[in-house]
Amino acid sequence: MEITLDFETFPVGEALRYLGCAQQDEDSRRLVTEALGPLLSSIHPRYLWRLLPLERISDKLSAGGLPLEGSDIRRHLEGCDRALLFCATLGHEADQLLRRTQVEDLSKAVVLDSCCTAAIEEVCDRAEEQMKARLPGAFFTTRYSPGYGDLPLTIQEAFLSLLEAPKRLGLCASDSSILTPRKSVTAIIGVSEHPLTPAGQRRCESCSARENCPYRKKEEYCGR
């Protein structure tokens, strides 16, 4: 499924935040809006999803046959009987544009990189809305991705293959579980017929980047 991002609704503030720039910094804001033109005109963001039953055998959790290891994801999906597994990507065009811009002007590339990060998060938000709309009346957890907490990053390949992402989205994982194209996300959303206990919106405790996180040091939050 495709999602079109446009200039008017693009989360410029998010891109600035990923850049580590102050919101009121006009110079940086201009750099972001300049980078958006070529980005938005070249990318074709897409996503793919499936609704799968969750199985719990003793303390082993799996979704549609995909083992979900670790206690964090078990806690996250508590009370859910199904899960939305989805993946989204900005596509190869974003990667190529980034490679090209790095050669031409590194400062533009740094800005572009942050714009891409903001863009893929926005795509995920929109995708989440669209998926939820297909399940009226259900209750949902927040998004949870491989690599968060103790859910291993190494499930990326099996995750993508369950969604047939390599052929249906051109989205693959490398031997080191890096998603390619680079600006891509995989995530799980728990689904339940019953209201869920409000899970903590901030998941810094279970984040693998918590040690070095620049946002956390400034007592801010990255938004995931």
Partner 1 sequence: MDVNTLLSLDRPILLDGAMGTMLQQKGLPAGAPPESAALEHPQWLLDIHRAYREAGSDILYADTFGASEKKLARWGLTPELVIPAAVDLARQAAAGKALVALDLGPIGQLLEPAGTLSPLDAYEIFARQVRAGAAAGADLAVIETMTDLAEMRMALLAVKENSSLPVLCTMTFEENGRTFTGCSAAAMALTLTGMGADAIGLNCSLGPAQLAPILEEMARYTNLPLIAKPNAGLPDPLTGVYDVTPEEFAGQMSLLADRGIRFLGGCCGTSPATIAALRQAVSGKVSRRKVVEVPAAVCSATQVVPLDRVRVIGERINPTGKKKFKEALLREDMDYLLGQALEQTAAGADILDVNVGLPGIDEKEMMVRAVKALQGVTGAPLQIDSTKPEVLEAALRVYAGKAIVNSVSGEERSLSTVLPLVKKYGAAVVGLTLDEKGIPKTAAERFDIARRILDRAVSLGIPRQNVYIDCLTLTVSAEQDSAVETLEAVRRVRQELGLQTVLGVSNISFGLPARPLVNQAFLTMAMAAGLTLPILNPNLDAMMAAVRSFHLLTGKDRDAREFVAAYGGDTSPAPAASPSSPSSVTLEYAVEHGLKTEAAAAARTLLETEEPMTVVNTRLIPALDVAGSRFESGKIFLPQLIQSAGAAQAAFEVVKEKISTSSGSVSKGTVVLATVKNDIHDIGKNIVKVLLENYGYTVVDLGRDVPKEQVADAVERHHAPLVGLSALMTTTLGSMAETIALLRQRELPCKVMVGGAVLTADYAASIGADFYARDAKEGVDIARQVIG
Q: Closer to partner 1 by CB, 11 or 147: give it.
A: 147
Q: Residue 148: CB partners within 8 Å, gap ≥ 6? A: 72, 73, 203, 206, 207, 208
Instruction: Please report whether residue 110 would count as binding partner 1 according to CB under 8 A.
Output: yes
Residues 141 to 180 in contact with partner 1, rule: CB under 8 A = 147, 153-154, 157-158, 161-162, 164, 166-167, 169-170, 172-178, 180
Residue 191 found at the interface with partner 1 (CB under 8 A)? no
Q: Should residue 204 be labelled a site residue for partner 1 when binding is judged by CB under 8 A?
A: no
Query: Considering the rule CB under 8 A, would residue 34 count as an interface residue with partner 1?
Result: no
Residue 197 Cβ vs partner 1, minimum distance, rounded to whole Å:
26
What residue ranges bind partner 1 (CB under 8 A)?
Answer: 19-22, 25, 27-28, 31, 44, 48-52, 64-66, 91-93, 95-96, 98-100, 102-107, 109-111, 113, 131, 134, 147, 153-154, 157-158, 161-162, 164, 166-167, 169-170, 172-178, 180-182, 208-209, 211-212
